[in-house]
Amino acid sequence: MSPKITVELLRQLRQAMRNGKYITEPIQAYIVPSGDAHQSEYIAPCDCRREFICGFNGSAGTAIVTEQHAALWTDGRYFLQASQQMDNNWTLMKTGLKETPSQEDWLVSVLPENSKVGVDPWIIAADQWKNMAKALSSAGHSLVALQDNLIDAIWEDRPSRPSTKLITLGLKYTGLTWQDKILAVRGKMAERKISWFVVTALDEIAWLFNLRGSDIEYNPVFFAYAVIGMSSIKLFVDVKRLLEPAVREHLQLDGTSKPELTVQCFPYESVYTELQAVCAALTPKEKIWICDKASCALTQVIPKVHRSAIPYTPFCLAKAVKNPTEIQGMKMAHIKDAVALCELFAWLEKEIPKGTVTEISVADKAEELRSQQKEFVGLSFPTISSVGPNGAIIHYSPLPETNRTLSLNELYLIDSGAQYLDGTTDVTRTVHFGNPSEYEKECFTYVLKGHIAVSAAVFPNGTKGHLLDSFARAALWESGLDYLHGTGHGVGCFLNVHEGPCGISYKTFADEPLEAGMIVSDEPGYYEDGSFGIRLENVVLVIPIKTKYNYRNRGSLTFEPLTLVPIQLKLINTDLLTQKERDWVNDYHTKCRETIGAELKRQGRMEALDWLMRETQPFV
């Protein structure tokens, strides 16, 4: 991986920062956040502005350029990757380390007095704007919203915004019509005396309307806004997309529905002026819901007295708690996904000794095998396929220049997943095709212990995911080890592979309590820069569990693994496991054998079935 050369780009950006064409007064710093106007985690090529300016292409990070400095903040998943992708015009700021200044503190330390700091108000979230503006103003500086995006100004061949074909999803997949979802949210709005609800997150809009697109790679979403009133529904989207008869029928655009369930369609860009019109017509007491993670630009359209900013929307929570149809779909998707992975591992065992299998070829093979499964749509994120030291780059994707060959001597980590019409998958396995060292086995076993500690945890209703994070780390901590990423994220149902508002992380973000029906990942790891990476990830479903007692009638929850792919036994040092942990592994493998074995048989994939039977032998 060679770094992007940014001397000339930085020169141009700094020129733009002083150019009267874009600004009324020169600015002394420019902030380039990671997201798009919907604060998406994964973004379309036209929105990869931060990557364009610094070269770092991970999913999280903020670049700030001043007259003298250029710095990028990212978290532990990306330290190595960012340091390799950026040239020495850039300083890497390692978020989460004690010595790393916050963006605000750093700006205050480097800016001359009374500086102006610019940012595009569409791609900074309202809550981030607020914090940054406050910190800057208390140090005598100011944060300025610039109409023109300065990166776009210097980006010559910037791609255009995608507008892909929309897919309609029926009740078979969604369990609930979009009309019922509208009625449910109106009930919540009435309860809270809310007149309007501005929906900006792309996955919430896709979920609401039971529509999918492919505007953003890996994320089956489409660029749109929605503004829901008690008796109207406004959808902002490239109107060409609505010409398709199936979409018209699905949204009942041709005049058959009741007025309050009629979707009014507007061009995507008109959300700003339409929202202004909605606000202008409000009576003094009326309130509008908008997520505090929505863009600063759209948020500020709503006068403060009418604005009710919420940390996450009712759709965010409703989407997180899967209904029975969605749960069934997620289970089916994971069975198909496991079939593909069993085939992949069986194939790898045969092929690796030939010395021709590379990180890239495995990733391609995995995609090919998945694509043979029914209702396959595409991958859910770029496959992380990494050999030996590449495994320590937590979100590594192989490139021709970094591509390593799989061998009998190094650990191999594959973190991959797919979108099926019935669900989204995300699974990581770390394997060794020769003889792992005692140290590799020891580390793997600690990670396994952490994985089991979360997966088998029993906890009361109302518990937030961050309270489970340390369970995943205890075994590593005891030996002085750790990993610098969270333990789990919410997973969408044929939607984004990362979704809120629940998760399992040491970071105390505003996570909502875990509830039966939520689906999260459980993925502890251990990484040694320059040597190897280990991660073990299942997607798990939150389910109720009957406990011996039931304190204050609260009820208890635990997890059911949806991912059913064997965990490599040869990497486990069984002496380090308790009897309970051994039982867990055996039970898990029995379930893999029964469920995935039956499906492999049904599909006639006998080689993979043999592999599965071999890999799921119980411990003696």
Residues forming contacts to its own copies in the complex (CB under 8 A) are: 98, 138, 140, 285, 308, 457-460, 462, 466-471, 473-474, 477-482, 506, 508, 547-552, 554, 556, 578
Residue nearer to its own copies on the CB measure, 78 or 218: 78
Residue nearer to its own copies on the CB measure, 98 or 240: 98
DSSP string, 363-409: HHHHHHHHHTSTTEEEESS--EEEEGGGGGSTT----TTT--B--SS
Q: Tell me which residue of 544, 492, 495 sits closest to 519, measured CA to CA.
A: 492
Lateral strand order in the sheet of 142-145: 91-94, 70-74, 62-66, 29-32, 116-119, 142-145
Q: How far is the CB of 453 from its own copies (least distance, A)?
A: 8
CA end-to-end span of the chain: 45
Q: Report strand pairing: 224-229 vs 411-416.
A: unpaired
Residue nearer to its own copies on the CB measure, 554 or 601: 554
Q: Which residues of 72-103 are buried (b: 16+ CB within 10 A; e: fewer)?
A: bbbbbbbbbbbbebbeebbebbbbeeeeeeeb
Q: How far is the CB of 610 from its own copies (least distance, A)?
A: 38
Residue nearer to its own copies on the CB measure, 250 or 466: 466
Q: How far is the CB of 474 from its own copies (least distance, A)?
A: 7
Q: How far is the CB of 482 from its own copies (least distance, A)?
A: 5
Residue nearer to its own copies on the CB measure, 197 or 483: 483
Mutual orientation of helices 579-603 and 324-351 as an angle, nearest 10°?
Answer: 90
- Residue ranges of alpha helices (H) inside 464-575 are 469-478
Chain center to CA of 387: 24
Residue nearer to its own copies on the CB measure, 102 or 547: 547
In what helix (H) or strand (E) does residue 136 lie, and over which residues does it extend? helix 126-138
Residue nearer to its own copies on the CB measure, 21 or 548: 548
Q: How far is the CB of 470 from its own copies (least distance, A)?
A: 5
Chain center to CA of 501: 11
Q: Tell me which residue of 400, 368, 371, 398 sits closest to 384, measured CA to CA.
A: 398
Q: How far is the CB of 519 from its own copies (least distance, A)?
A: 21
DSSP string, 225-261: EEEEESS-EEEEE-GGGG-SHHHHHHTTTTS-S-GGG
Q: How far is the CB of 172 from its own copies (least distance, A)?
A: 34
Residue nearer to its own copies on the CB measure, 246 or 458: 458
Q: Using CB atoms within 10 Å of the CB of residue 358, give its burial: 0 to 12 exposed, 13 to 18 middle, 19+ buried.
A: middle
Q: How far is the CB of 415 from its own copies (least distance, A)?
A: 21
Q: Tell me which residue of 298, 296, 301 sits closest to 279, measured CA to CA.
A: 301
Residue nearer to its own copies on the CB measure, 308 or 361: 308
Q: How far is the CB of 215 from its own copies (least distance, A)?
A: 35
Residue 377: CB atoms within 10 A of its CB come to 18
